[in-house]
Amino acid sequence: MGKKNKIALLTYASIIFLVPAILQNNYHLMVLNVAALNIIVVIGLNLLMGYAGQISLGHAAFFGLGAYLSAVLTTTYGLPPWIMLFLAMGITGLVSYAIGIPTLKLEGHYLVMATLGFSIIIYIFMLQLDGVTGGPSGFAGIPRLRIGSLTFDSDRKIFYLLWPVSIGVLMLSLNLIHSRVGRAMAALSHNEIAARCSGIDTETYKVKIFVISAVLASLAGSLYAHYITFISPGTFSFFYSIQVVTMVLVGGMGSLWGSVFGAVLLTLLPEVLHAVKEYNVLIYGAILMVVLIFFPEGLLPGMVRTWGKRRSGGGSFSRQPTALEKRG
Amino acid sequence: MTLYLQVLQFLLSGLTMGSTYALIGIGFSLIHNATGIVNFAQGEFVMLGGMFMITFFSFLRLPMPVAFFLTVLSVAAVGLLLEQGPIRRARSKEILILVMITVGASISIKGLSMLLWGKNPMTLPPFSGDAPIVLLGAAIMPQSLWTFAITVIVVVGLNYFFKGTLIGKAMRAVAASRRSALLTGIPVDRMILLSFTFSGALGAVAGMILTPITTTSYDAGVMLGLKGFSAAILGGYGSMPGAVVGGLFLGVLESLSAGLISSEYKDALAFFILLTVLFFKPSGILGRGRLRRV
């Protein structure tokens, strides 16, 4: 990680640390907490989209898998939450590995469909296995997380759990993409064949990235379950997968800071535009299309490009300047 | 004897659903062959087919053939607009970006439909009454016969179009190699436009024949699209006979498992099959060996 990123990360962390002092409204804190969880999922997904050149439309399922595994294991069976959180991550990792191995070997975009199919299966199980999951009416009474005698039972307390985790994930991911693995990933996203020729085992890398991104979604899901203490299948529907993909695209594929921006912006947006609930689907669809059509490299990088330096008019980019050019 | 009858009944209903999956699957294949992208909005075309037909036939009380024709035109126009607008204007022509644009189009269409037609499920009357016809001891709805007949007409018509007309041959040339097609003077852009328009029309037909059987609502598209896609993958992606075989196969499997095992997991089964095919034989039932990107 370069010096610039370290300074940015420190500044970012200190600003976040001060936010609860300024914000008195618990509801605002809750929205920000949800944003922190979304950041975790979106960063993971961006590693996949920006560095493996693959899209998952099943992150709602991995998020849901984390949430339901944590919920069922801790509430029904009374097992310790923290350990179950890691167990859920492990199980989700194995599941994603099983999906990734066959699909990522194929040329083309089979992962999109495989993950989408998988997420629909998981969704149906959440609805139908009501003996275990509570079915459509949801699963309530999930215990809160605690460290020693400190129980994370208010929005304010949990803010200081979720945000450090989300910043930690950002830091680790920034480290990852600036490591040897990260350079291999960047090469892979740039030109898979060239990467393979220079001795990078592209298949293994793609599967690894996919597993990492699924595990991160599971982590966010478990934290979500213990935070809200009630989960229902609706949260983990196809639409959530679309939301996180949109967040990645708005922030720019391959740009982790962009992901933070995209996740926060799109989590806050529905709260700012009140009475928008009816139009939520339409708005996400429209944002997704506009960003993809006019700013395929991301809204933030796109705007910077348009207003920043307008030397060459328009310019055609066959592959967006993702990984190699803008590291982090 | 009763089991035999039950199975026969499930087979018939499976083939009915399967025919519509086949039509949706062909729609996927058309666009895939011309452009290499997976059109996620295909399912929305089907939903729109049902919705437009309800509007023209039940609300505006137009005669059925007129309503049918207008619906095909309207949804074909949606397909055309999708290509002319978002897909054509996209600044990046990367497949991944284009695929995601169709995802965006799909949820935009869904959101708009919710505003236009509301959230309640809607239905169409069957094309010719609902007195079942008894065949070999099993009851068959007239709508199922319509479904079979229309599917056969469409498939035969498309087959003639692709094998017998110059435009059809040009479209096949584009599917085989876009670059060579361009070099031989085929207007590739126009062929792509045509493939989107055709897919819209196919979706419309599928939606119209399906709605009297299953009803439709603004959010029906995603599931139907995925079923059609599974059908296409199952039969061999990009191949028209493949889509037909895959669609019928999927429909029958789904109906048998729903009837004999459990109906709650019916939808899960379709995707379980999809995943299994992707794992073991990604080229599908009729697929020829190696996979490649078009």
Query: What are B113-139's pLDDT values in tens digits?
Result: 998 998 899 888 888 877 888 877 778
The helix (H) or strand (E) run that includes residue A247 is: helix A238-251
The hierarchical CATH code for the domain B2-119+148-280 is: 1.10.3470
Cα B271 to Cα A226, A236, B86, B265, distances in angstroms: 30, 17, 29, 10
Taking an 8 Å cut-off on Cβ atoms, the answer to whether B96 and A55 are in contact is yes
Report the C-alpha gap between A25 and A97 in whole angstroms: 42
A311-320, B122-131, B197-206: least confident range? A311-320
Report the C-alpha gap between B127 and A315 in whole angstroms: 54
Give contacts of B104 with chain A, Cβ < 8 Å.
285-289, 292
Q: What is the pLDDT of residue A315?
A: 41
Classify residue B278 as left (phi > 0), alpha (psi -120 to 50) or beta.
alpha
Residue that has been written with the tokens 């609805």 in this structure: A127
Residue B140: strand pairing partners: B133
A109-113, A152-156, B25-29, B31-35: least confident range? A109-113
Q: What is the pLDDT of residue A305?
A: 74
Q: What is the pLDDT of residue A321?
A: 47
Portion of chain B with pLDDT greater than 90, in percent? 43
Give contacts of B292 with chain A, Cβ < 8 Å.
107
| Whether pLDDT at A319 is above 50 | no
Give contacts of B99 with chain A, Cβ < 8 Å.
55, 109, 112
Instruction: Tell me the shortest Cα–Cα distance from B203 to chain A, in angstroms.
Output: 20
What is A265-325 written as a DSSP string?
A: HHHHHHHHSTT-GGGHHHHHHHHHHHHHHH-TT-HHHHHHHHHT---SSS---SS-STTTT
Using pLDDT thresholds of 50, 70 and 90, give the confidence band for residue B21: very high
What average pLDDT does this structure show over B180-203?
A: 92
Report the C-alpha gap between A77 and A87 in whole angstroms: 14
Q: What is the pLDDT of residue B100?
A: 85
What average pLDDT does this structure show over A307-314?
A: 54
The tens digit of pLDDT for each residue in A162-210 reads 999 999 999 999 999 888 888 888 888 777 788 888 888 888 888 999 9
Substitution target in A101, A122, A292 with the highest count of B β-carbons within 10 Å is A292
Give the residue, A35 or B100, on which the prediction is more confident. A35
Taking an 8 Å cut-off on Cβ atoms, the answer to whether A114 and B274 are in contact is yes
Give the residue, A216 or B282, on which the prediction is more confident. A216
| Whether pLDDT at A37 is above 80 | yes
| Whether pLDDT at A267 is above 60 | yes
Instruction: Tell me the shortest Cα–Cα distance from B237 to chain A, in angstroms.
Output: 11
What average pLDDT does this structure show over A31-36?
A: 94
Q: What is the pLDDT of residue B293?
A: 39
Cβ–Cβ under 8 Å, residues A301 and A258: yes
| Whether pLDDT at A313 is above 50 | no
What average pLDDT does this structure show over A93-121?
A: 83
What is A49-66 written as a DSSP string?
A: HHHS----S-HHHHHHHH
> b/e string for B129-165 if b means 16 or more Cβ within 10 A?
eeeeeeeeebebbbbbebbbebbeebbeebeeebeee
The helix (H) or strand (E) run that includes residue B290 is: none
Pairing of strands A146-147, B133-135: unpaired
ipTM exceeding 0.85? Answer: no
Instruction: Tell me the shortest Cα–Cα distance from B164 to chain A, in angstroms.
Output: 31
E strand intervals along B127-233: 133-135, 138-140
A121-125, A258-262, B36-40, B260-264: least confident range? B260-264
Question: Which of the given ranges, A23-27, A189-193, A283-287, B189-193, has the highest pLDDT on average?
Answer: B189-193
Using pLDDT thresholds of 50, 70 and 90, give the confidence band for residue A109: low
Report the C-alpha gap between B194 and B80 in whole angstroms: 8
Tokens, residue A171: 């830091």
Residue A33: CB partners within 8 Å, gap ≥ 6? Answer: A155, A158, A159, A162, A163, A227
Q: What is the pLDDT of residue B287?
A: 64
Residue that has been written with the tokens 């940015």 in this structure: A8
Q: What is the pLDDT of residue B77?
A: 96
Instruction: Tell me the shortest Cα–Cα distance from A247 to chain B, in angstroms.
Output: 13
Q: What is the pLDDT of residue A314?
A: 42
Cβ–Cβ under 8 Å, residues A113 and B38: yes
Give the residue, B293 or A206, on which the prediction is more confident. A206
Give the residue, A227 or A274, on which the prediction is more confident. A227
Q: What is the pLDDT of residue B211?
A: 92
Substitution target in A123, A207, A238, A282 with the highest count of B β-carbons within 10 Å is A282
Average pLDDT, chain A: 85
Domain range annotation of chain B: 2-119+148-280
Report the C-alpha gap between A123 and A237 in whole angstroms: 7
Give contacts of B282 with chain A, Cβ < 8 Å.
102, 106, 110
Question: Which of the given ranges, A83-92, A185-194, B98-107, has the highest pLDDT on average?
Answer: A83-92
DSSP B56: I
The tens digit of pLDDT for each residue in B145-166 reads 899 999 999 999 999 999 999 9
Cα B62 to Cα B53, B55, B142, B146, B213, distances in angstroms: 10, 9, 21, 20, 21
What's this model's pTM, rounded to 2 decimal places? 0.84
Give the residue, A163 or A5, on which the prediction is more confident. A163
Tokens, residue A79: 């097992």
Portion of chain B with pLDDT greater than 70, in percent? 97
Q: What is the pLDDT of residue A45?
A: 95
Taking an 8 Å cut-off on Cβ atoms, the answer to whether A283 and B86 are in contact is no
